[in-house]
Amino acid sequence: MAERIDGKQVAEDVIAKVKLLTSQLLASTGVQPGLAVVIVGEDPASQVYVSSKSRKAKECGFKSVQHTLAAETEEKELLDLIASLNADSEIHGILVQLPLPAHIDAGRVIQTIAPEKDVDGFHFINVGKLVTGETETAFVPCTPAGSMILIERVRGKDLSGLNAVVVGRSNIVGKPMANLLLAANCTVTVAHSRTNDLPAVCRTADILVAAVGRPQMIKGDWIKPGATVIDVGINRISTSDNKTRLVGDVDYAEAEKVAGAITPVPGGVGPMTIAMLMANTLSAASLAAGLERPSF
């Protein structure tokens, strides 16, 4: 039976370190990390995400600012707000909650955020740094960054000689995940919906990362015995008693019989995403204060 990778516990470890380093930063430099979260409209899921991020920031000792704009807000007004946050020395991280209303160009908005305050890691400068191996100075998207820490807890930081397969090629998870694994000396395959014989490709993986958004697609017989399985998927499915439950992209019941270690859903990668947002914000504040960024 596979080791269950407890993302909630690892996230708590990261948050504990963020709290400690935040208090030390404030005491030694007078700099308090500042996180601004911007939400446009009233999407219920986005509201939940934003409130949890704001709460966690306050818990870490950050200055936490939330800007809630009406759904009909014009793009220029949002861009003007971002410009003012870019210029605010007390704000070190800016997060614009996606999705944005259809009349706003999300790509333009994201690229307006100053790269040194782009704690989501979506600006082209941060993307370029990650792709070229400048992982020490890049802000990495929070979900792959958190997934990497979970892998390191099982396999260590140097993954030389290991085969990694990332199923999914999104800009938010799949591509940055592949680049992080490359930087750790993995041999990396990026698979997707057009990959021939996907089960056979998955079976080559010592480290398998599932990020496709299809519930329980990856079955137990797709997994190499002893592999480390990181399930990024969060899917809500109906149950026989007319309720719903959350499942990942991996069939956990089958996979845990074969894998060496596996993340559950929920309680695996999910908690790490917000923890890494806090870590990125602290890093941004540390860099702004002329200090080295902390490691997690």
Residues with a known catalytic role: 53, 97, 120
**Amino acid code (one letter) for 291:** L
Residue 248 has which token pair? 């990942």
With beta carbons less than 8 A apart as the criterion, state whether 165 and 201 touch: yes
Handedness of CA 84, 139, 55, 101 (dihedral sign): positive
Q: d(Cα 69, Cα 71) in Å, to the nearest integer?
A: 7
Q: Which helix (H) or strand (E) holds 175?
A: helix 174-183
Q: Cα separation of 75 and 102, whole Å?
A: 10
Counting runs of H as helices and runs of E as strands, what totals does the chain give? Answer: 10, 11
